[in-house]
Amino acid sequence: MTAESIDKGMAGVVAAETELSDVRGDLGELVYCGYNINDLAENACFEEVIHLLHHKRLPTPDELAALKQDLASRREIPQGVIDLIHTIPDEAAPMHVLRTAVSALGCYDAAAETGEDIALARDKSLNLIAQIPVLIATFHRHRQGKKLLANDPTLGEAANFLWLINGEKPSADMERTIDICYILHADHGFNASTFSSRVTIATLSDVYSAITSAIGTLKGPLHGGANEGVIKMLHEIGDLDKVDAYVEDCLTHKRKIMGIGHRVYTTLDPRAPHLKRMAQTLTKELGEPKWIQMSERIAELMLEKKNLNANVDFYSATVYYSLGIPTDLFTPIFAIARTAGWTAHVLEHLDGNRLIRPRAQYAGDDGKPWLALAER
């Protein structure tokens, strides 16, 4: 192995086969289990995508109805976990809280250790898909000094989450907007958080540990945390007429512009146009078009000057902000959606499990003589 053959970020390294999603970076395409993301975003609901990723086929009408009912029945979280969340400082970052709370869920599950039992792991996976939105809402309501609302079993996953954080039943348009966001974020190949979940489950740890690993990975600003950085950037710029100078200053001083460029896509991220259209509609309805106007100008300049396109985080930030969702809940919403994919990868890896153990090229010194403590 030579230094030239080592890539610290493992770019281009094929670690395993998967039937779950295919990120075709050179074509700007994303496929879930054979279905183009555009078709899924336009036609599916999130629960259909959960079934697709877990079973690698779309559900029948009866299966979809049963899944919705099953998820709704799994939303209640242990009182001990609620009590734990209530002890966390209100100013804590929600992603820190979510990571801690998911780990705590495992402490209240007497059958948390699933080994290679895929059926049992799937049961834990469905619990987490249903409960992670409730964990986020529990903390959000508590820090606002508001009572946690009861889950509504008549609502789907997207609508129930909006109900829990806002205290109002969402409009059909608002529910569909979040539903599409969930679909677009549900899976994306061997991204950093997905890979960390597979590394963890490969040791035959447990599903709670695998998803805790994934959440800790997602929260980084170079992964899921980028969407929060986008809205902070837009607020820093302030107005459309300041965009050009801001971009020029960033390029001159080699500062990263959040939401621009992608590690895999060499052309447009196929998820971005869906989010852009929703952002355009929402900002128009709110009478605050400057957010999407600034975003569009940044995207135009970065394509022109650096040949870099906007990614999924770039427009999702404006969508969430326009819906009145607090900035620090942007990445937790990403986690809600990606739990469908993380758990699907956990189940896929357990089917023929193999420990993930790459090598490292040692680059340190050798042959050093021992020195007594007094001689150092």
C-alpha dist (Å) from residue 91 to 64, 95, 140, 142, 145: 39, 12, 10, 11, 13
**Scanning the structure block, which residue is given the tokens 């902000």?**
321
- What's 310's DSSP letter? B
Closest-CA residue to 144 (of 125, 123, 164, 172): 164
**Scanning the structure block, which residue is given the tokens 């958080």?**
193
Give me 197's structure tokens: 């979940």
> CA dihedral in degrees (29, 30, 31, 37; nearest 10)?
-100
| C-alpha to C-alpha distance for 1 and 9, rounded to whole angstroms | 16
Which one-letter amino acid corresponds to residue 370?
W
- What's 4's DSSP letter? G
The answer to whether 190 touches 18, Cβ cutoff 8 Å, is yes
Question: CA 369, 372, 376 angle in degrees (round to 5)?
Answer: 85
Q: Order of strands, edge to edge, in the sheet holding 21-24?
A: 21-24, 29-32, 35-36
Burial readout 59-70 (b: 16 or more C-beta within 10 A, e: otherwise): beeeebeebbee
Give me 187's structure tokens: 């899976």
Closest-CA residue to 165 (of 176, 181, 152, 149): 149
| C-alpha to C-alpha distance for 299 and 284, rounded to whole angstroms | 19
**Scanning the structure block, which residue is given the tokens 């060499």?**
266
Residues designated catalytic: 262, 313
| C-alpha to C-alpha distance for 156 and 149, rounded to whole angstroms | 15
Give me 13's structure tokens: 């390294």
Instruction: Name beta bridge partners: 31.
Output: 22, 36
